[in-house]
Amino acid sequence: MQKDFNYRNVNQVPRLVKVVVNASFGKIRKEPKIQDMIEDTLKRVTSQKPVWTKAKKSISAFKIRKGEVIGAMVTLRGHRMFDFLEKLINVTLPRVRDFRGLPLKSLGKGNCLTIGFRENIAFPEIRSDEVERVHGLEVSIVTTAKTKEEGKNLFKYLGLPLQEK
């Protein structure tokens, strides 16, 4: 990548910063035991305890009050981040039904790639016979890339299957 973009210094090459795994309750937040179920899913998938996200303000249309728990997230850095990405690329993405690669619209301004999973059973740690309720997850991969082209090349070199359209 240093040759592709004519970087003079190795430190100019974009690198991974963190991976954030997020699950929100949405319409199912009123169901009993939903917090425990999502916490268990995130613990299994990331091997780390999630942090609860709370509503910043009240929204009457969605029946959300300020301070109410509306989701959970885990931030992975260092070796846990790389272990998770390896498992994501080699095991989880091939298990997704009708997977043809990650669309380029998932790539943000260059420094972030967001992947949404409609079913948590795509991850190998979640057994389908144990799941009471299927819910979605969101995985955001944050980098130091400055442009969309740099980000696209970094993800390509990492082995993420991006669609070329």
pLDDT tens digits along 111-151: 888 888 877 777 777 776 676 677 778 889 998 888 888 88
How do the domains of the chain map onto residue ranges? 10-158
Q: What is the DSSP string of 80-128?
A: HHHHHHHHIIIIIHHHSTT---B-GGGB-SSSEEEEEES-GGGSTTS-T
Q: Are 68 and 139 in contact (CB under 8 A)?
A: no
Interval 48-63 mean pLDDT:
85
Q: How confident is the model at residue 104 (pLDDT cuts 50, 70, 90)?
A: confident
Rounded to two decimals, what is the model's pTM? 0.83
Separation between Cα atoms, residue 65 and residue 144, nearest integer Å: 35
Q: How confident is the model at residue 67 (pLDDT cuts 50, 70, 90)?
A: confident
What superfamily would CATH give domain 10-158?
Answer: Ribosomal protein L5 (3.30.1440.10)
Q: Side-chain half-sphere of 43: how many Cα atoms within 13 Å?
A: 8
Q: pLDDT: is 45 or 130 the higher one?
A: 45
| pLDDT reported for residue 83 | 92
